[in-house]
Amino acid sequence: MNQEESAVFSSYEASAEEIQKVIMEWARATEAFHGRYAKLNQVINSLQVAARRNPKFNRTRLRQLIDLREHMSDVLMTLLLDMSGQKSGRSAQPSKPGQLHSHASLLDELNRKIDAELISFTTVAQA
C-alpha cells in the first residue's frame, strides 16, 4: 500500500448517523449483557441454595455457571478499561466507532453463549 492509499484510509470519518447506529448497537448489547448477568446470578444463587440443602448435589453445573460469570466479569472489565484508554499506558482518548462495534459484537457473542447456558439450565430444572 502506498502513501496515497494510506492517506485515504486514515482520513475516513464516520457520519453522525453511522456513529449513532454504532452507539445504539453498543448500548443495546451492553444492556442485554447486564440483564443476562443478573439472570445468571439468580440461577447461581438458587443452585448454591440447592447444593447446601442436598449433600449429593452435582456441583459440576454450578461450577460451569460460576466460571461463565467470572468470564463475563473479566470481559466487562476489559471492555471498560479499553473504553477508558487506561490499558497499556495509553493516554485517555475517546473510543472510536470501530471499537464500539467490536465491543458490541463481543457482547452479542457472549449473550448467545449465556442464553444457551440458561436455556439448558431451565430445561434441566423443568425435567
- Encoded amino acid at 123, one letter: T
Kindly state whether residue 90 falls inside one of the protein's structural domains: yes
Residue 16's pLDDT is: 82
pLDDT, tens digit, 9 for 90 and up, residues 18-40: 888 888 888 888 888 888 989 89
Kindly state whether residue 32 falls inside one of the protein's structural domains: yes
Give the residue numbers spanning the domain of 52.
16-126
> Is 60 exceeded by the pLDDT of residue 71?
yes
> Is 50 exceeded by the pLDDT of residue 69?
yes
113-124: average pLDDT: 78
91-117: average pLDDT: 76
> Is 60 exceeded by the pLDDT of residue 46?
yes
Kindly state whether residue 7 falls inside one of the protein's structural domains: no
Kindly state whether residue 27 falls inside one of the protein's structural domains: yes
Kindly state whether residue 4 falls inside one of the protein's structural domains: no
Total domain count, the chain = 1
Kindly state whether residue 26 falls inside one of the protein's structural domains: yes
Kindly state whether residue 8 falls inside one of the protein's structural domains: no
Give, in order, the Cα–Cα distances in Å from 25 to each of 93, 100, 127: 21, 8, 36
- The HSE-up count of residue 11 (CA atoms within 13 Å, CB side) is 6
